[in-house]
Amino acid sequence: MQVEVKGEFIPVALATLGPGEQIFCEGGLMVFSDPTIGFGIRWMTQGGVLGAMKRTLVGGLPFQLHEYTGPGYVAFSRFRPGETRVVTLDAGKGVDVAEHSLLLATNGIGYETFYVAGTGRIGRMIGFWMDRLTGPGTFAFQGHGNILKFTLAEKEAMDIDHGSLLMKDASVTVRAYNQPLGGGLVGHALSFEALRVEGPGEIYLQTVDPTKHAPGTPG
């Protein structure tokens, strides 16, 4: 199987599959395909039916994934300006990808989802989901705006905006916290929600927060 990035402003990940080769992704991402490609559904069984319904109803994650079987070509996009990267994972290597950022993954990659708890305060930081991918295999993901890569040493930390987190090694921890704007009750009341990531491992950030720049929203 071969995966290439085509286009610049709104790129696609173009996968060329041999006979019997499979990839999977969320529904609604396909841009075009060879008529020879086969289509199927992979049901999300992690946590059983109730776990899948919770992820779908509360987290907005899909209840099932789409599978594509070769031979032929098929292209995927998030239909927004940004960058697309292709990554190959060694056996046992794990990475976490922000929800609704994965474009495709080969069928040999292990796929799970997990929840990052929010701070509990009123506002947007009620928590969010990430995809846990485990090798071996190849996957492609899209970042909104530009993609920035950082390597964190053991115990090295970085504070980031919630919407900037795109991908990280499974060894990098992440937690939500409230950052006060000054001291006292006023500073606490005006605090904003952010994320603290801590190494060791690599993290990828995106320069556009997709939740702030969704179609039809100001800003």
pLDDT digits (tens, 9 = 90+) for 89-103: 999 999 999 988 999
Indicate whether 217 belongs to any domain.
no
What's the distance, CA 23 to chain centroid?
Answer: 16
Q: How many domains does the chain have?
A: 1
Indicate whether 216 belongs to any domain.
no
Indicate whether 27 belongs to any domain.
yes
Indicate whether 212 belongs to any domain.
no
DSSP annotation string for 168-197: EETTSEEEEEEE-SSSHHHHHHT-EEEEEE
* Residue 8 phi, psi dihedral angles, 5° rounding: -125, -60
Residue 99 in tokens? 């929800």
What's the alpha-carbon Rg for the chain, to the nearest Å?
Answer: 18
Indicate whether 145 belongs to any domain.
yes
pLDDT digits (tens, 9 = 90+) for 138-165: 999 999 999 999 999 999 999 998 889 9
Q: Which residues contact 55 (CB under 8 A, 6 or more apart)?
A: 44, 47, 61, 113, 129
CATH number of the structural domain spanning residue 146: 3.60.160.10
Indicate whether 42 belongs to any domain.
yes
Residue among 111, 125, 117, 110 nearest 161 (CA): 125
Indicate whether 219 belongs to any domain.
no
Domain with 123 in it: 2-206
Indicate whether 218 belongs to any domain.
no
Mean residue pLDDT across the chain: 85
> What confidence category does residue 63 fall into, taking pLDDT thresholds of 50, 70 and 90?
low
